[in-house]
Amino acid sequence: MNETRNFPILTTDRYVLRQMEEGDAQNVFSYFSKDEVTRYYDLDTFTEKSEAEDLIRKWNEKFDRSEGIRWGIADKQTGGIIGSCGFHCWEKEHYKAEIGFEVHPDHWRQGVMTEVLKEVIPYGFQHMSLNRIEAFYDPDNTASKECLMKAGFVFEGVLRKAAFEKGVFCDAAVCSILKEEYL
């Protein structure tokens, strides 16, 4: 990332990808408080707005420490956050990072992530010097898989009982996209 540590703003036709602030917590809470959003997420369903404030703070601290970046997906018409997308588990010595995202159910199946990934993926390759972007998802989460495949990711397999989430061991499907495949 750049030396000035300015948070990069990306734009698409319908969205502004920007740093989230405490004032966005209510919107973030509005979707993380839904079981259908956290079903495949490694977080419990939120019960208080303060949990959204903590998550936003955590994402911003990772950016400040150059450990990752998480953009809020702001609707251009309303300015409200409808989801997020970004990079975590950034292994600079291996030129790779993991991508993650979520969207409010009111915006499912509307091409939000397809549009957003067209800006976020090249950012990772061009500005973070990534050679590999990987994604891990629950094998039952067909919507995430379809979205990633549409963005050019290649399915690599299933890691059996690779994660311990919400008190149970669970499988993790993995896919990736390489710089040479994307550019």
Q: Domain-by-domain residue ranges, the chain?
A: 10-131
- Domain 10-131 is classified in which CATH homologous superfamily? Gcn5-related N-acetyltransferase (GNAT) (3.40.630.30)
Average pLDDT, whole number, for the chain?
94
Low-confidence winner among 83-87, 120-124, 165-169 (lowest mean pLDDT): 165-169
User: Residue holding tokens 């499988």?
Assistant: 171
The model's pLDDT over 88-139, given as tens digits with 9 standing for 90+, comes to 999 999 999 999 999 999 999 999 999 999 999 999 999 999 999 999 999 9
N-to-C CA span, the chain: 19
Q: How many Cα neighbours within 13 Å face the side chain of 50?
A: 0
Query: For 20, phi and psi rounded to 5 degrees?
Result: -85, 150
The model's pLDDT over 72-82, given as tens digits with 9 standing for 90+, comes to 999 999 999 99
Q: What mean pLDDT do residues 48-60 have?
A: 97
17-45 as b/e, with b when 16 or more CB fall inside 10 Å? bbbbeeebbebbbbbbbeeebbebbeeee
